[in-house]
Amino acid sequence: MTATHTTERAVVAKRVDSGTADTEEIRDLARAAGYEVVGEITQTRTEDPAYHLGEGKVARLSNAVAREDATVVIFDNQLGPYQTYNIGNELPDRVRVIDRFRLILEIFGQRAQTRKAQLQVELAELRYELPRAEAKASLAKRDERPGFMGLGEYDETREEDIKKQISNIRDDLESIEETERHRRDQRRESGFDLVALAGYTNAGKSTLLRRLATELDVDENEDLHPDLDATAESEDRLFTTLGTTTRRAEVGKREVLVTDTVGFIQDLPHWLVESFKSTLGSVYHADLVLLVVDVTESVEEIREKLVTSHDTLYERNEAPIVTVLNKTDAVDDEEVQRKKAALSSLAPDPVAVSAREGLNVDGLAERIDRELPDYEQERLVLPMTEDTMSLVSWIHDHANVEAVDYGDQVVIEFEARPAIIEQSRAKAGDLVGASA
């Protein structure tokens, strides 16, 4: 993996077809990777096939790099292998050129702490490299000049090696996902509802997770709950959450597990999204998804992000989605209402909160309770045996017990998730059969 660049100086560059180039996000990404941004070059024009930017702008870029003593140029665009080589030839010696997606891969590599995250980063890197290996193969066969255009020596087996590695990693990820599916089933069988937080980076998902857990009196005792993950980070930087973090909370009568997931980011290519699809397993298989957005952004920005998020979530997700407008402490009520109205077609009946200040977190908790699957009522009549006492204790742990009558028989009335009702009926059937 690429090491964190704590001292490297970077110049960012961006080309747009029309309008004005916005470099705020690429600067944030560069800082997230550990670079110090010391300058920028932007251009509005159609893409130059050889240099991406116009040749005159590349010359200005080279001057800026030399003036600022930068060692890397970061493009907020996707560069082809030939464009990368051509630009590099116009820059001072030993200056690297990386594009937006190589930068994102660097960040992912730095943040990957689990085996699953590391595999996903490796998969994304291989998918990034594959078309470049194919380009080398095509060029070498056509021109019979290995290393032409600075693409490196052509290894005729490299393309097949990459495809084989991709296949092997997919198999490894599928095995991990199977284990996670089993874990989710166990959690549901233990009486937990599963809630997932989704949304773009820096929307405040990790802060909201911490607030929900704090507000709802979460029990963080790892001895009692060994299946729960460490406390979520909540830093003001992109990609703080690459893996997932799960916390336990109580919503009304419910036991809920809330999971924070990897943040979305704008303009990701298909190959990169695909590489991290398994990270979203906790979203796709949740009972409820909270889609968190930053209400301080413009209506246009929020709308674009909601559309992209829905495209990603609705592809495989069957759970209801509730939009959470976060950071209300930074805008007035009038603006919140205006944005609610403007976004009503994409986000009907959203919940407005401030995770940082704890505003309306109780209202969000009530909404979570309403949106989760309804509990079912059950009444069991059991023989009076020692095993029955064990079952009564199990029901107390996994359901909301409303009444228990101890007489010649034990009559217990309770409400619970459908899965818990089914298990209790099966256990009761075994008891009745054993006492007959």
Report whether 164 belongs to an annotated binding site: no
Task: Please indicate, yes or no, if residue 350 is contained in any of the structural domains.
Answer: yes
Can you tell me the mean pLDDT for 236-251? 63
| Size (the chain), residues | 436
Report whether 356 belongs to an annotated binding site: yes
Are 400 and 415 a contacting pair, CB within 8 Å? yes
Decide if pLDDT at 234 tops 70.
Answer: no
Report whether 199 belongs to an annotated binding site: yes
pTM of the full structure: 0.66
DSSP string, 234-256: --SSTTS-SS-EEEEEEETTEEE
Confidence at 416, pLDDT banded by 50, 70, 90: confident
Can you tell me the mean pLDDT for 308-333? 85
Report whether 354 belongs to an annotated binding site: yes
Confidence at 326, pLDDT banded by 50, 70, 90: very high
Q: Residue 241 has what pLDDT?
A: 47
Q: Give the whole-angstrom CA distance, residue 273 versus residue 225.
A: 32
Say how many domains are in the chain. 4
344 in the same domain as 232: yes
Report whether 260 belongs to an annotated binding site: yes
Can you tell me the mean pLDDT for 231-244? 46
Report whether 204 belongs to an annotated binding site: yes
Report whether 261 belongs to an annotated binding site: yes
Task: Please indicate, yes or no, if residue 183 is contained in any of the structural domains.
Answer: no
Cα-based distances in Å from 306 to 199, 242, 266, 360, 434: 9, 20, 11, 22, 55
Report whether 355 belongs to an annotated binding site: yes
Task: Please indicate, yes or no, if residue 158 is contained in any of the structural domains.
Answer: yes
Task: Please indicate, yes or no, if residue 236 is contained in any of the structural domains.
Answer: yes
Can you tell me the mean pLDDT for 292-320? 84
The 10 Å CB-count burial string (b at 16+, else e) for 367-393 is: bbeebbeebeebebebeeeeebeebbe
Return phi, psi of residue 53, to 5°: -85, 170
Last residue of a domain, one of 123, 152, 177: 177
121 Cβ contact partners less than 8 Å away, ≥ 6 residues apart: 1, 105, 108, 109, 112, 275
| CA angle in degrees (0–180, nearest 5) for 271-276-277 | 95
213 in the same domain as 127: no
Residue 55 three-state SS? helix
| CA angle in degrees (0–180, nearest 5) for 259-260-261 | 115
392 in the same domain as 281: no
Pairing of strands 376-383, 409-416: antiparallel
Report whether 243 belongs to an annotated binding site: no
Q: Residue 296 has what pLDDT?
A: 95
Are 151 and 134 a contacting pair, CB within 8 Å? no
Check residues 91 and 129 and name the one with the higher pLDDT: 91
Decide if pLDDT at 343 tops 80.
Answer: yes
393 in the same domain as 293: no
Report whether 12 belongs to an annotated binding site: no
Can you tell me the mean pLDDT for 330-341? 95
384 in the same domain as 355: no
Q: Residue 134 has what pLDDT?
A: 75
303 in the same domain as 333: yes
Report whether 206 belongs to an annotated binding site: yes
Report whether 340 belongs to an annotated binding site: no
Decide if pLDDT at 226 tops 50.
Answer: no
Report whether 200 belongs to an annotated binding site: yes
CATH number at residue 257: 3.40.50.300
298 in the same domain as 410: no
308 in the same domain as 251: yes
Q: Residue 221 has what pLDDT?
A: 34
Residue 321 three-state SS? strand
Last residue of a domain, one of 58, 77, 109: 109
Report whether 241 belongs to an annotated binding site: yes
Helices (H), 19-80: 24-32, 55-68
Full residue range of the structural domain in which residue 404 is found: 376-435
Confidence at 179, pLDDT banded by 50, 70, 90: confident
Report whether 236 belongs to an annotated binding site: no
Task: Please indicate, yes or no, if residue 182 is contained in any of the structural domains.
Answer: no
Decide if pLDDT at 422 tops 80.
Answer: yes
Are 238 and 29 a contacting pair, CB within 8 Å? yes
229 in the same domain as 88: no
Report whether 308 belongs to an annotated binding site: no
Around Cβ 184, how many Cβ atoms within 10 Å?
17
Are 75 and 97 a contacting pair, CB within 8 Å? yes
Task: Please indicate, yes or no, if residue 4 is contained in any of the structural domains.
Answer: no
